[in-house]
């Protein structure tokens, strides 16, 4: 039985992960434009940010052709079954296309209209919920986590800010060998937040609070518990009422289990006990909860990118704290409160077995990029979504190429 490297497994990953067996490349599918109508389209009369500024004719034949080629080259080389990309550049136009397949068995083409598991992009929503409570005056970012959750190693010195910045020093529960075995042995299992955290709490902390950056899902699960304790509401309910509805996101939610509304692509992973590639579409994401279990679609993610980066739901003072990014130790990449700056692109990426996403906003150009794919299998040691984001931005914004350097645990 092949042992999966712990730093790779279930990384609510940030940009790069260690190498696993590559997926055999699927036959190339024709690149096709997205259809205008969709079950996930905004309600009649609704408008998304920048929509009126993006001419429907696209970015022009030359740039469109270069993007088509860049995306298809990465898809083939990395063995990605299906890719859906949205790039909106007000004043210049937009590019909304899909290529490859949503289902390797039926050959159903990938679409830009389906739902997707967004993995660690969930963190942007959880931290926004936390910051809403900061604006309400109900918590402070420098409060110790021990004030809200008991039993956290060194919890009297680890603050909510440390958790949101990934500087707590808590051991990531997803790196615990028993957690890896237990989840992969029963991927339909339901985990409570406390059960997941317990796998990490059995280990010593890896450094003193604030000493350095280390990406850990344990941090965000704890913040989810803080939101629940202070608000007196389940996290899914608080997110719905205080974040999703005010942001006008109609197709984004935190599931309670493996539910996954149609339409959606099938997801493929090799994060298995024997390294075999399997269909992980219906795996239960409860283990990731506030760190990576949410579902969304391209329309909502496009809108969320700007809401998140510009702080529309928060006070200017709180948003300024959120965007105070600190070095991660990797070139071109800094991290704030549940958000990163990758060479000017503000947002987050996500990875969960079978799916990867990138949702980022470039303030300098008022540009938005959303990538959705139906695999998390690495290629050359890198996340396939990162390869795509780098290829797309190299063509569209060569002075702001998406950074990619973090090796998560």
Per-residue pLDDT of the chain (409 residues; tens, 9 = 90+): 333 433 345 443 444 332 222 222 222 333 333 322 233 333 323 333 344 455 556 899 999 999 999 999 999 999 999 999 999 999 999 999 999 999 999 999 999 999 999 999 999 999 999 999 999 999 999 999 999 999 999 999 999 999 999 999 999 999 999 999 999 999 999 999 999 999 999 999 999 999 999 999 999 999 999 999 999 999 999 999 999 999 999 999 999 999 999 999 999 999 999 999 999 999 999 999 999 999 999 999 999 999 999 999 999 999 999 999 999 998 899 999 999 999 999 999 999 999 999 999 999 999 999 999 999 999 999 999 999 999 999 999 999 999 864 444 3
Does residue 408 form part of some domain? no
Question: What is the rounded distance in angstroms from the CA atom of residue 293 to the CA atom of residue 286?
Answer: 6
Compute CA 48 distance to the chain's CA centroid, rounded to the nearest angstrom.
20
Per-residue pLDDT at 383: 95
CATH assignment of the domain containing 181: 3.40.710.10
Cis peptide before 263 (omega within 30 of 0): yes
Does residue 21 form part of some domain? no
Burial of 203: CB neighbours in 10 Å, binned 0-12, 13-18, 19+? middle
- Residue 352 pairs in a beta bridge with 355
Which tokens is 283 given?
């795996």
Does residue 321 form part of some domain? yes
Is 187 within 8 Å of 280 (Cβ atoms)? yes
How far are the Cα atoms of 102, 282, 283, 376, 377 from residue 279, in angstroms, in the given order? 12, 8, 9, 11, 12
Does residue 56 form part of some domain? yes
Does residue 106 form part of some domain? yes
Count the neighbouring beta carbons within 10 Å of the beta carbon of residue 175: 24
Domain that holds residue 355: 32-396
Does residue 154 form part of some domain? yes
Question: What is the rounded distance in angstroms from the CA atom of residue 191 to the CA atom of residue 194?
Answer: 8
Per-residue pLDDT at 51: 45
Does residue 268 form part of some domain? yes
Per-residue pLDDT at 55: 53
Is 97 within 8 Å of 112 (Cβ atoms)? yes
Count the neighbouring beta carbons within 10 Å of the beta carbon of residue 333: 21
Question: What is the rounded distance in angstroms from the CA atom of residue 194 to the CA atom of residue 151?
Answer: 10
Report how many domains make up the chain.
1
Does residue 136 form part of some domain? yes
In angstroms, the first-to-last Cα distance of the chain is 21
Question: What is the rounded distance in angstroms from the CA atom of residue 70 to the CA atom of residue 134?
Answer: 42
User: Which residue in this structure is represented by tokens 């034949």?
Assistant: 61
Cβ neighbours of residue 36 under 8 Å, at least 6 residues apart? none
């Amino acid at each position: 039985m092949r042992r999966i490297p712990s730093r790779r497994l279930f990384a609510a990953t940030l940009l790069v992960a260690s190498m696993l067996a590559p997926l055999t490349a699927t036959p190339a599918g024709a690149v096709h434009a997205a259809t205008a109508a969709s079950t996930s389209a905004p309600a009649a009369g609704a408008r998304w940010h920048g929509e009126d500024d993006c001419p429907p004719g696209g970015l022009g034949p030359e740039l469109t052709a270069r993007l088509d080629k860049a995306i298809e080259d990465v898809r083939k080389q990395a063995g990605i079954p299906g890719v859906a990309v949205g790039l909106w550049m007000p004043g210049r136009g937009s590019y909304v296309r899909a290529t490859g397949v949503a289902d390797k068995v039926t050959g159903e083409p990938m679409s830009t209209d389906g739902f997707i598991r967004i993995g660690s992009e969930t963190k942007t929503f959880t931290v926004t919920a936390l910051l809403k409570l900061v604006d309400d005056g109900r918590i402070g970012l420098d409060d110790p986590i021990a004030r809200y959750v008991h039993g956290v190693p060194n919890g009297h010195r680890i603050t909510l800010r440390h958790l949101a910045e990934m500087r707590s020093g808590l051991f990531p529960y997803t790196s615990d060998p028993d957690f890896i075995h237990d989840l992969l042995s029963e991927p339909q299992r339901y985990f409570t937040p406390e059960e997941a955290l317990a796998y990490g709490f059995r280990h010593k902390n890896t450094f003193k609070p604030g000493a350095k950056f280390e990406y850990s899902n344990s941090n965000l699960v704890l913040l989810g518990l803080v939101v629940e304790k202070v608000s007196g509401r389940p996290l899914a309910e608080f997110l719905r009422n205080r974040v999703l509805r005010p942001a006008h996101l109609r197709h984004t939610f935190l599931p309670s289990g493996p539910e996954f509304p149609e339409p959606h692509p099938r997801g493929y992973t090799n994060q298995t006990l024997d390294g075999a590639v399997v269909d992980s579409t219906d795996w239960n994401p409860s283990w990731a909860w506030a760190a990576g279990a949410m579902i969304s679609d391209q329309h909502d993610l496009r809108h969320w990118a700007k809401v998140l980066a510009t702080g529309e739901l928060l006070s200017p003072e709180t948003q300024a704290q959120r965007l105070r990014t600190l070095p991660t130790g990797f070139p071109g990449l800094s991290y704030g409160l549940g958000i990163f700056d990758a060479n000017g692109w503000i947002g987050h990426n996500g990875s969960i077995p079978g799916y990867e996403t990138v949702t980022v906003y470039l303030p300098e150009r008022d540009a938005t990029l959303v990538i959705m794919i139906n695999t998390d299998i690495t290629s050359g040691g890198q996340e396939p979504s990162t390869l795509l984001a780098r290829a797309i931005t190299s063509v569209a914004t060569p002075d702001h190429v998406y950074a990619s350097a973090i090796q998560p645990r």
